[in-house]
Chains A and B, each alone.
Chain A
Amino acid sequence: MAIPEITANQVLVAEAASGDHVAFSRLVATYHPAMARVAYAITGDRETAADAVQIAWGTAWRRLGSLRDRSTIRSWLVAIAANEARQVLRRQHRRRVVEIASVVESDGGGDPSDRISTVDRARVLRSLDPDERTLLALRFGAGLDSSQIAAQLGMSASGVRSRLSRLIDRLRVDLGHE
């Protein structure tokens, strides 16, 4: 039987799981940007996203020892960030409606007909619920494939593909790219 290759990254995860702060800080340095991007894609607000990621790191620290397949550390951390961002968004929705940041900026250059404008992007994202934003964030923000998303969200890969396909079809209509 082949012995699975243990990467340096997996060793790092194991060290962090055993309580090594230095190893954990290296994980933070490596994966924080991906987690922040996903949290920002879901919340649309820098401050809220930063809060969510901070909570996510606390969750990760406590649960790191339960991560069975250490090669999935990136998608695991990103999923935690997505979940915390979703929860933060839900809490805020309970108190008030949170607007996705609609940054008035120039997209700068390119053929406007080929690109999705900032205004359209913000408008469409506002129309999505947290679960839909999570799917898009994991797919486009973190670059996870359907299988990785499925593993983290407890869905089937075909289910993820199906939901993403319907979501993308809807976005295509909403953004006038039919």
Chain B
Amino acid sequence: MSDAMTFEALLDDAFERYLADAPVEVDPAAVAAQVASPKGRRTLGWLPQLSRELGFSKRAQVIVLIALLIAAALAVVAVGRFLERNQLSLVLPGSPSMEAIYVRAAARGVDIVAVRPEGTERVVRHLESSAYLQGLTFYPGGHVSEDGWIALGTESSPGTWSGGGDADPYWALLDLGDPTRPVVQVHTNGGPTSAWSANGIFASPFGLQCCPIRITNPRTGATHDLSLNCCGGGPSTILAADGSGGLTHFGGDGARARYALLVPADPPSFTDVPAMAFREPRFATPGGRSLYVCLPPSQLGTPDCADPGAWVYDGTGDPIDWTRGDLAGFMNAGLTSDGQALWLLYVRSTESGSEALLYKATAPGLATVVWRQTLPDNVNWVSLGAFALDDSLVTVYLTDLSLNDSVDHGSRLVSLRDGKDSSPNGSFAGYVRGDIVESWR
């Protein structure tokens, strides 16, 4: 024992002498000024995050992968079932199922359609443009919040919303639960890249430079502008906006973007909100886990992706390998809402054509098929859309990329619980709990 203490004392002494060269000199005021400046915050905020995504030791990867594979081999069934139960436990017994909301063009306005997991649907609202707008019409597309507000695009004539023809476009926010409430207008840059947070706060880009984001609480009318430093890429999707930040992907070619967690430079005025809600191919969870997929250039990978694979970063930024190498036909991936498992979407060739396969990977190297769909001849590209917060539903988009310009072939609404799907018409807008939808009737 005394020998051990002696050696520890020696180590202590060795470290003390070694650390005599540590760069302890500092100008405290300069450090404070730098980190507190908008420039400093941006630089120190998202660059390290991106760097982390692109740089970590090979040795650590191998060690972690081996350890995880051994653990998975020892507890394949038990761990898989545990994770399955854990993931599904997010949905409380007896809780109402989620329903998908679609927007369809209709006479003098739009119809709001709710689609249940088994595919049955009904029109829950008909919104006439003239009842809410002056000189404008609703564009048949938008985003719906968890609690039933919807953001609809507006246009002065058909095509100006999607084509950018209006000089000062805005979203119209409506309460589907109370259609008598006046519409709330939110100026935007006309793009579809906006989203609701879990507590019903709406975020939308409104400028053309460096994507400033306007956060709006439609119930109070309060707004707050955030400056997200994503110059050069622009956010193609804002996944969350709850006052603590926006989660977005940018760069790449749109289909294969680079991801980053962006922290706003200006703390917003309302921060007392629940955990962030993540939609679209979910690549981060409130616990801090994040997903990074690196595809080779032959699959539209980013140029700096030299080591194809999919891995998850834990809350401290340490990587955990999930799959490596076997990414032929890989299309998309997303985390489950608890961050404990992955959804992996592939297109594989069959004797008669091709099929889409959606896997749930509950541990590295351990995946089961949850949805399989033979694809029409003219569809060669599929991508994951939004997941319901309880992981009960996902939207999968079908596209033909064999032409110079992509051709949209609609979407499938997939029940992740039984693998059944449906093909609702219209523009997908989000998910709302069934009991809330019922209250609109």
Stretch among A5-13, A58-66, A69-77 lining the B interface: A58-66
**Contacts A40-B22, A46-B22, A59-B48; A177 near B7 (Cβ below 8 A):** yes
| Interface status of B55 (Cβ within 8 A of chain A) | yes
* Interface size counted on chain A using CB atoms at 8 A: 59
**Whole-angstrom distance between the Cβ of A20 and the nearest chain B Cβ:** 9
Per-residue B-contact encoding for A151-173, CB less than 8 Å = 1, 0 else: 00110000000000000100110
Give residues 20-39 of B contacting A (CB, 8 Å): 21-24, 26, 28-29, 31-36
Q: Tell me the smallest distance from the CB of A30 to a CB of chain B, in Å.
A: 9
Main secondary structure of the interface of B (DSSP, over half): helix
Question: Which of B28, B34, B57 contacts A32 (CB under 8 A)?
Answer: B28
Q: How far is the CA of A33 from the CA of B20 in the complex (A)?
A: 11
A36 contacts the other chain (CB 8 A): yes
A13-38 contact mask (Cβ, 8 Å, vs B): 1 or 0:
00000010110111011001100110
- Residue from the list B36, B54, B315 in contact with A21, Cβ < 8 A: B36
Contact partner, A84, options B29, B41, B48, B56, Cβ 8 Å:
B48
Among the listed B32, B34, B56, which residue makes an inter-chain contact with A90, where contact means beta carbons less than 8 Å apart?
B56
**Residue of A with least CB distance to B22:** A40
Indicate if the CB atoms of A61 and B36 lie closer than 8 Å: yes
- Residues of B in contact (CB 8 Å), total 47
| Bound CA span A87–B59, Å | 14
* B 223-260 contacts with A by CB, 8 A: none
**In contact, A29 and B40 (Cβ under 8 angstroms):** no
Cross-chain contact of A37 among B13, B14, B24, B63 (Cβ < 8 A): B24
Bound complex: CA of A129 vs CA of B194, how far in Å?
Answer: 43
B7:A168 contact, CB within 8 angstroms:
yes
- Smallest distance from the beta carbon of B179 to chain A beta carbons, Å? 39
| Chain A contacts with B in 89-141, Cβ cutoff 8 A | 89-95, 101, 103, 107, 114-116, 118, 121, 125, 129-131, 136, 140-141
Per a CB cutoff under 8 Å, which of A24, A94, A116 touches B32?
A24
**B24/A91 in contact, CB under 8 A:** no
Minimum CB–CB distance for B245 against chain A, Å? 10
Decide if A146 is an interface residue (CB 8 Å cutoff). no
* Chain A nearest Cβ from B234, distance in angstroms: 23
Q: Is the CB of A90 within 8 A of B26?
A: no
Contacts of B35 in A (CB 8 A): 24, 57-58, 60-61
* Contact A140:B32 (CB < 8 A) given known A37-B22, A40-B21, A129-B59: no
Check A87–B317 contact: CB distance below 8 A.
yes
A94 touches B21 (CB 8 A): no
Q: Which residues of B sit under 8 angstroms from A41, Cβ to Cβ? A: 15, 18-19, 22
Contact A32 to B26, CB < 8 A, known contacts A116-B11, A168-B8, A171-B11 = yes
Query: Is B409's CB within 8 Å of the partner chain A?
Result: no
Q: Is A116 a contact of B33 with CB atoms below 8 Å?
A: no
B92 CB to nearest A CB, Å? 28
- The CA-CA distance from A146 to B240 in the complex, in Å, is 37
Closest to A59 in B: B44
Q: Is B67 an interface residue (CB 8 A)?
A: no
A103's partner among B21, B32, B41 (CB-CB below 8 A) is: B21
Enumerate 15 A-B pairs (CB-CB under 8 Å) in ascending A order. A33-B22, A36-B26, A39-B22, A40-B22, A57-B31, A58-B41, A58-B48, A61-B41, A83-B316, A90-B56, A91-B55, A129-B57, A129-B59, A168-B4, A168-B7
- Contacts from B to A (Cβ < 8 Å): 4, 7-8, 10-19, 21-24, 26, 28-29, 31-36, 40-41, 43-45, 48, 51-52, 54-60, 63, 263, 267, 315-317
- Given pairs A93-B56, A172-B7, 8 additional interface contacts (CB within 8 A): A28-B32, A39-B22, A40-B23, A49-B22, A61-B41, A90-B55, A92-B55, A140-B16
